[in-house]
Amino acid sequence: KPRHSSSDLRAHTCTQHTTRTMAGLLNMAGLSLTGAFAGAQLRAPAPAARVSHTGFSVVAKKKWEKQALNQNGNPVRHPMHVKTNDKVVVITGADKGKVTEVVEVFTKSGTILCKDVNIKTKHVKPKGEGETGQIIQKEWPIHHSNVMHWSEAKQVRSRVGHKMVDGKKVRVLKKTDEVLAN
């Protein structure tokens, strides 16, 4: 039986990518196979596995939507220009022009919940045996860019800025120079 060098086998495997078993390689090279390597898979050495624990958090997203994560594995928080209890006016959408109050801020999704804005009808199924289903009307979040701060004194909408007052950084309305409560 002719002996082939390992370099011949390597050259042969480079040209034939479809053969993956030792038996197939030796068969193509004209060698017979005996021993414990019959049917063994040829693989490149696997890189050393590095296990790093990254924290996870539950985010309400659809399966195909990926939440952006920071280096710690937590969801990226959106910088928000509004806070809870701010007086705002809706500047776009079905409720355009409505003056309302921010009830809740969701920094993971960049949305806010406003009082009596973006009302949706939700059909709730009965949970118990004797219970009946309900149709409830509920506020749904809107994107924070769809609202602007509202000045009660001047009745105008305004962007928000920051100023140092008595050594403290405070939020102010740019048009009216009113200080907002933090």
- For the chain, list the domains and their CATH numbers: 1-43 (no CATH), 87-157 (2.30.30.30)
Are 116 and 100 a contacting pair, CB within 8 Å?
A: yes
Higher pLDDT, 71 or 23: 71
Mean pLDDT of 157-175: 97
Which pLDDT does position 88 carry in this prediction? 98
Are 119 and 139 a contacting pair, CB within 8 Å?
A: yes
Which pLDDT does position 16 carry in this prediction? 47
Which pLDDT does position 147 carry in this prediction? 98
Enter the pTM of the model.
Answer: 0.63
